[in-house]
Each structure stands twice: as structure tokens, then as C-alpha cells.
Amino acid sequence: MRAIIAGGTGFIGQALISELKEHGWEIVVLSRSPGKVADVFGSGVIGMRWDNGDWPDLLGPETAIVNLAGENIAKGRWSEAKKKRILDSRIEFGQRMVSAIKSADTPPAVLIQASAVGYYGPRGTTPVDEYAESGSGFLAEVTRKWEASTAELEEMGVRRCIIRTGMVLGHGGALAKMLTPFKLFLGGPLGSGFQGMSWVHMADEVGAIRFLMENENTSGPYNLTAPAPVRSRKFARILGETLGRPHKLKVPTPVLQLLFGEMADELLLSGQLALPERLEKAGYEFRYPELNAALRDLLR
């Protein structure tokens, strides 16, 4: 079994490659800088330029593609130029991937297409599953177009799974940014604390991706979120208790808006309670379905 991964040197990509290697997958990482792939992973992972035209020769019925490529949405303030890079990077790579697959003699068995729970837009107190319609806002627009960028492959008979990922908890990423204020006894919920936080332990993020790669009966959208989403204030309480630190010092909405602008409103001050209904029905069993256990594992 061969996996061709775009975005493999990122936060999720590196963990996914570790998971796949443990289960016998051959790994090819598409990158603008194959030398960086060697620096990150060493031997055992092949780096190829995504724009050189050679990697489609590796496609076939034993090959899965995972498309995680895209500009980091949480790094830097959302200027108009930044928003354009966020959107264009996702659409461009998806379209290039479709063109490359069309040029191959044999298509891959499956494409795992990245997306995010931002697809549903701000949802307040109403839980959403994969059957819910897309919402409003910049992130909803980005994810709709991101998903659509590779939709043409389904017409070619390629099985396609869309992974709408929540906040991934691991060694790094969003959790690492949260730890400092809590360790300084300044931790607490963001804004009102009522916004939903759809989270997932990294072990389940990559475990679910591998499950979808290997399960031929899966296709369509899947929420990669734990079955027990929480509100911001409950997340802060459980994180504070896990660390043995206070957890009630709220970060005021105006402060977040001043620091992060539009990104604060869409990414920090609103959210969703997304449920992995289709993933559980498909038979995936979560390693960390509850937040308490997930944080204990990551912070012990």
C-alpha cells in the first residue's frame, strides 16, 4: 500500500506519516522542497516535487492520496492578502491534483480531501452532523471551495472522503498556544465562553484518516471530531483542572478582536458542536472520546 501525501510536513501530516509507517504503508510526500522532506523524516519517506509531473506514475489501485495542502489559517492576522493566500492555496493545489490524476494511466484507489468544521459556520448551541448544510462566513466559503476543488475525481470513479477536522489536540498546534496563560495562572475561556469547541485527539485524527483510507465502503464527508464536543468555558475548566491551575479568567472579546481582527470572530469567538455521526456509523472506534482523558494523555 502506498500513500501520496500533500502537506505531509505539517502538524497533522507528520503525525499521519508516523501512523501509516507503523502499519506498513509506503510514503511519498509531495513538496516544493523534497530536501525538506528528507530533513524532517530521514530515510523511509520519499520526497517528490508536486509540480514535476513524475508522481502520477505511482498511482494505481493500491495507492491512496491524502490532500492536506493549504496555507495555515491560524498563523498571522487575516489581511486581505492573507485571506487570498488561504483560499487560493487550497483551490490551486486541488485543481492541480485533479489535472495530474487525469494524466495518469491508472487513477488512485481513494483521495482523502482535507476540510474543516468551519464548513458549518457559527452554529451556537445546535449540534451539527455531516448532513447539516454549510454556513456563512469566510471559513465556510473556504471549506466549500476546498472540498469542491477535487470533486471532479468522483466522476472518474475515484472514491473520495472529505475530512472536516475540528481543533486537533497534540504536541504542538492550538493546545501548545493555550498552555502558557494557564501555566502563568491566567487561563480561562475565550470571550463569552459559550462558543462550541469541536476537538479531536491527534491519535484519533490520524487513526480516522487511516481508517478511511483502508475502508473501501467509506466515501463522502466525515467530521473528524470527538463525539463529545464542549463549550469554551468547559474546555478551559478541564484544561485548568488537568494542569492544576485556575481556569476562570476570561479573555475579553474586545481584546481578542484587537489582537486578531476578523480571525478572532470566526476562529476564536464562534464555533460549532460538530458530531462524528457518519464516522461512528462506519465503525471507527475513538481512542479518546472524552476531553478529560485526551488532555491527561497529552499533558502527563
The CATH class of 2-168+198-226+273-287 is: alpha beta
**E strands of the chain, at which residues?**
2-6, 26-31, 45-49, 63-67, 110-116, 127-128, 159-165, 167-169, 196-197, 199-201, 220-224, 230-231, 273-274
Average pLDDT over residues 263-282: 94
% of the chain at pLDDT higher than 70: 100
Position 75 scores a pLDDT of 85
Annotated domain spans of the chain:
2-168+198-226+273-287
Position 165 scores a pLDDT of 98
Residue 125, pLDDT above cutoff 90: no
Residue 53, pLDDT above cutoff 90: no
Average pLDDT over residues 99-109: 93
Tell me the HSE value of 70 on the side-chain side, using a 13 A CA sphere: 27
Residue 220, pLDDT above cutoff 90: yes
Lowest-confidence pick of 69-78, 207-216, 284-293: 69-78
Average pLDDT over residues 211-218: 98
- Phi, psi (rounded to 5 degrees) for 279: -65, -45
Q: How confident is the model at residue 12 (pLDDT cuts 50, 70, 90)?
A: very high
Residue 203, pLDDT above cutoff 80: yes
